[in-house]
Amino acid sequence: MAKTVMAIGAHIGDVELTCGGVLATYALKGYQVITVALTGGERGNPPHLTVEEYRKQKEEEAAGFAGVLGGTAVVLPYVDGELPDNEEVRYQVCDLIRSYRPEALMTHWKYSMHKDHELTHRIVRDAQFYAGLPAIIRKDKAHFAKGPYYAQNWEDSPEFQPYVYTVVSREGFKLWKKAIRLHWFAVNSPSFPYMDYYAHLMRCNGCLARTEYAEAFAVNEEDKRITVHEF
């Protein structure tokens, strides 16, 4: 069976921008790609669409992006800006982890200008713990996913320190650029040039990683361990 990677964002479009190059690269390696959005991100609606119309459009964009990568998009039913801080949503994410059994999780850093981003960080950490604990009985068996790896995001920048640079292949970068154009705001937002910023960030991180393109991730302090057997 193909291995799986899962990226979990607060809003549709978050992980597609911040982890998209890695997701596309792994898709080309044969991995199953799962994107999860805890809310629709619908309250950033453009003037020509209502919030409800933009929610529908964004759900179609999420499915379209994942489809280009041969993957699956999951969107939970919560409202943008009103993500609940409760056990129900944690167990929903736990169940997704157990169902899809990803090798690794990617999500938001712990500090952000967006409340949904910070809450998503906490939800994913708890859900990862629940998913890996056999004593918690759910529909599917326990599964531990590596990470979480916390994506570099200009909106989540306070105290963010890159620790892992993950290579984005040239073909993965091209596939990401094709897929991300399906997201209206990534190309057309009047407030921030999202696609251009993350495309250039991949190149800058590639320079730091001594490769062409890369995406940077932070990790938990307890995961910063390097074992050396011999110099």
**Domains observed in the chain:** 4-222 (3.40.50.10320)
On whether the CB atoms of residues 120 and 41 are closer than 8 A, the answer is no
pLDDT for 123-164, tens place per residue? 999 999 999 999 999 999 999 999 999 999 999 999 999 999
Share of the chain above pLDDT 70, in %: 100
Largest Cα separation within the chain, whole Å, is 62
Report how many helices (DSSP H) and strands (DSSP E) the chain contains, helices first.
Answer: 8, 7
Rounded-to-5 percentages of helix, strand, coil across the chain = 45, 20, 35
Cut 0.75: pTM above it: yes
pLDDT for 63-115, tens place per residue? 999 999 999 999 999 999 999 999 999 999 999 999 999 999 999 999 999 99
**Is the bond preceding residue 148 a cis peptide, omega within 30 degrees?**
yes
pLDDT for 8-20, tens place per residue? 999 999 999 999 9
Provide the 10 A C-beta neighbour count for residue 145.
22
What b-and-e string marks burial along 73-112, b requiring 16 or more CB atoms within 10 Å of the CB? bbbeebebeebeeeeebbbbbbbbbbebbbebbbbbbbeb
**Residue from 102, 108, 39, 38 nearest 71 by CA:** 102
On whether the CB atoms of residues 19 and 215 are closer than 8 A, the answer is yes
* Helical (H) or strand (E) element with 8: strand 4-11
pLDDT for 189-203, tens place per residue? 999 999 999 999 999
Q: Is residue 166 helix, strand or coil? A: strand
